[in-house]
Chain A
Amino acid sequence: MKASANNEQEKPITLTGAFDKPTYKQILIKLFQGLAIPLCIFVLWEILGSMGWLNLYLVPPPSLIWDRLLTVAGNGLLIKHIGASLYRVVCGFSLALCLALPLGFLLGLLPGVRGFLSPTLSFFQQIPAIAWIPMFILWLGIDEASKIAIIVYSAFFPIFLNTLHGIASTDSKLKEVAYTYGLSRWGLMSRVYLPSAAPSVFIGMRLGLSYCWRSLVAAELLGASKGIGYLIQEGREMAQPDLMLVGVLVIGLIGLSLDFVFRRLEKKFLPWQAKVDTKEVPKWQIS
């Protein structure tokens, strides 16, 4: 993809060429690669089950789990529980964003304040959200508030710390460029600090989302009347391992989808990032 001065006129340079969207074939290959291992496991699992080598109660084969999934999906239970869990995540995660983003931004800009706050924050960072569940229930009751508090707590630290790090590690060479144009403080923040920290912020958000998804299920296991964690708990109480496994699968699948959505958002909002990451970035030579 090199364009020398000579052939520039004959062949117009298409800059997007090297970064074209993946073809259907590429997507299929990727899909196959990702699904190969789970499919093998399911097939093996099913075969072992049908040959009577597995205890069907302890390890219900995929066909039984699938039947159960269809049942709970059919009678509307699954949607109700997923909806309850997602509602909590959306509320808690948005709240965590509202707290962690400005705070991370501010502390990233103020290294002086960081010295006062970081030991305390590091202390809290070490405490898993699950450890707080009993206290949160005590303080906030067993209803939604305590669960949302757990989510906020779990999502806060990865978002906050990554935002702080992103802002604090803004390249001072780029800051200097902005200074030479006499940018205002606000201009410097919105046009240099923010875009420079954006990749780090995205990493924080993806981590935060996955953390809060995990601790939410823990909170629902300990005390809830709906939610996927509750579904698993119900499976336990009714001695239905297939229902428990439905819950586990759904948790993984939704977590996966949420992460996928965030990765797509990242690609959309940080198009330059993909170009930096690609090892084989084509360079066009003209001089």
Chain B
Amino acid sequence: MANFLEIQTITKYFNIVNGQVKALENINFEVASGELICLLGPSGCGKTTLLRIIAGLEKQESGQILLNGQAIDASGPERGMIFQEPRLFPWLTVEENVEFGIKGRYGKKLLQTIVQELLEIVGLAKFAKAWPSQLSGGMAQRAAIARALAADPLILLLDEPFAALDAQTRTKLQTDFLSLWQSTHKTCIHVTHDIDEALILGQRIIVMHSSPGRIKKIIPIPFPYPRCPDDPDFITLKKELRDSFYLNIVKLGL
């Protein structure tokens, strides 16, 4: 199952006031089943747009996406999306939010078991009856992860899910997310602008460039999990990535 997900020659334009801007140019890569990939790039490089195209929330101008050899062009429950904001429905309790995507698919009892299990996995079992407005940012994002997992998707698409959290909460959620991935072995595409995060999580890092958004390089990360950010090899790689980031920014004159 080498070519579980194939991104082929994706190009995307955005309409602006006077004309068009190329957001993505000729994006090509493949994702193996069970792989955890990080899309890393500065803001404006089109990484979120690319993720949204994979999720079916945006349409590309050319190119195609193949999932198990089948072209996809709309969103579907086999791709679970986790946004930067939790985006919980404020009128539903935590458990009702989690069962949002699978309501009616299973009987009431089974549904309850699934939701309870998921809430336990993300550490929110005691907050099943809480309203989203009662949750802290980290807990709300946990609930959003449980909601995405409920539909049992083949792929999890994560759009900077931890970027809005404070440093401690982020580290905790990264660790929990890693163990979640290791136990479920879902294929994950994780968008981030945080070099550390990409290095802690990714089996491979796809580094992106801006104007127009394109892939600069794809780096396999050889370190075993859990990764230690103080490891010399880790730091070397981090420096390398950072330099290429800054070089890019200097070149753009930002």
User: Which A residues have a C-beta under 8 Å from some C-beta of B?
Assistant: 3, 8, 12-13, 15, 173-174, 176-177, 179-182, 191-192, 195-196, 198, 270-272, 275-276, 281-287
Contact = CB atoms under 8 A, between A and B. Distances in A.
Contacts of B79: 180
A173 B136 CA distance: 19
A272 to B, nearest CB: 5
Interface string B70-95: 00001111011101010101111100
A272 B131 CA distance: 7
Nearest to B138: A287
Contacts of B142: 287
B169 interface: yes
Interface stretch (B122-130, B195-203, B215-223): B122-130
Contacts of B151: 181
B218 to A, nearest CB: 26
Contacts of B92: 195, 272
Pick the 8 closest A-B CB pairs, nearest first: A181-B101, A287-B138, A195-B91, A180-B81, A275-B131, A283-B136, A287-B172, A180-B75
Contacts of B176: 287
Interface size class of B (residues with CB under 8 A): 35 or more
Interface string B123-154: 11011011111111011001000000001000
Interface string B82-125: 01010101111100000011000000000000000000000110
Nearest to B153: A180
Contacts of B134: 15, 275, 281-284
A283 B91 CA distance: 17
A174 B89 contact: yes
Contacts, number: 96
Interface of B: 55-57, 74-77, 79-81, 83, 85, 87, 89-93, 100-101, 123-124, 126-127, 129-136, 138-139, 142, 151, 169, 172-173, 176
Of B80, B131, B172, most A-chain CB atoms within 10 Å: B131
Contacts of B172: 287
A174 B133 CA distance: 15
B75 A179 contact: yes
B139 A286 contact: yes
Contact of B126 (A8, A180, A281): A8
Given A173-B83, A286-B123, A287-B139, A272 B91 contact: yes
Contacts of A181: 75, 77, 100-101, 151
B120 to A, nearest CB: 13
B173 A287 contact: yes
A8 B126 CA distance: 10
Given A181-B101, A275-B133, A287 B87 contact: no
Nearest to B103: A191
Contacts of A196: 91
B129 A15 contact: yes
B136 A285 contact: yes
A276 B139 contact: no
Contacts of B123: 286-287
A272 B90 contact: yes
B177 to A, nearest CB: 11
B102 to A, nearest CB: 8
B133 A272 contact: yes
Given A195-B91, A196-B91, A198-B91, A180 B55 contact: yes
Given A275-B134, A284-B130, A180 B90 contact: no
A281 B151 CA distance: 30
B76 A287 contact: no
22 contacts: A15-B126, A15-B130, A174-B87, A176-B81, A176-B83, A177-B81, A179-B57, A181-B77, A181-B101, A195-B92, A198-B91, A270-B91, A272-B92, A272-B132, A275-B131, A275-B133, A276-B133, A281-B133, A281-B134, A284-B136, A287-B138, A287-B173
